[in-house]
Copies of this chain bind each other. A is one copy, B any other.
Amino acid sequence: MAKRQAILAAAFAEFAARGYAQTGVDEVAAAAGVAKATVYNHFGGKETLLREAITASAEQATAKNLAAVERLVDTGGDLRPTLEDVGLRLIQCYCDDDSWALRRLLYAELAHLPDLLEIVQVQAAERVQRALADRLARLALAGRLGITDPDAAVERLSSLLTGPLEARARWGTRRLPAKEMREVAAAAVDAFLRLYAAGDESGPPQPARSR
């Protein structure tokens, strides 16, 4: 039923805007254009509502991220523009309002809903990381990148892409201009390509040494 979707969407929006504890079920129902009893019919309680709203939102976010990663294909030409395009798209996903809201809710409610971490960590974050690692591995195998450990490379690339965003976007309270996103993507890809240039056998970053 469409009501269910409306309730989930409204719940996510309201919880994101004012916080879980500060939002009444009445308000969610009103925002969804639905009676309070209907919410209870569908979800049984406020906590389940939050759980399902977060799960649904995480799935949407994951889908967008995976779509971005999918564009990382070897066109035969220079890798840089392709990587910048994918990087920019991943940054856009990360900076999406819903995405910030999702992270806020997750951080906030991690204490009472530890099982949500499982869902988001394994079903969302790790899946995207794996997909990206797969793509990088293919490029490495084709001799386009000097990568020996794709997982380490993904960790580096992700860090360079998303690391600057928290401060620049002021933890989601400031909307990043498109130009700034492009700069961050370009800078990250530039660093990444320096680190993993094709045929760079000067010592592809293993965990340095164990000493």
Return chain B residues, CB-CB under 8 Å to A208: 84, 183, 186-187, 189-190
Interface residue SS majority, chain A = helix
Which residue of chain B lies nearest to A114 when distances are taken between CB atoms in the complex?
B173
Which residue of chain B lies nearest to A172 when distances are taken between CB atoms in the complex?
B110
- In the complex with contacts A191-B156, A194-B195, A110-B171 CB distance below 8 A: yes
Q: Does A73 contact B (CB under 8 A)?
A: no
**Number of copies of this chain that the complex holds:** 2
Please, how many residues of chain A have a CB less than 8 angstroms from a CB on the other chain? 48
**In A6-41, which residues have CB < 8 Å from any B CB?**
17-22
Return chain B residues, CB-CB under 8 Å to A18: 111-112
**Stretch from A44-52, A64-72, A136-144, A161-169 contacting the other chain:** A161-169
Binding site for B on A (CB under 8 A): 17-22, 84, 103-104, 106-112, 114, 117, 121, 125-126, 129, 152, 155-156, 158-160, 162-164, 167, 170-173, 183, 186-187, 189-191, 194-195, 205, 207-209
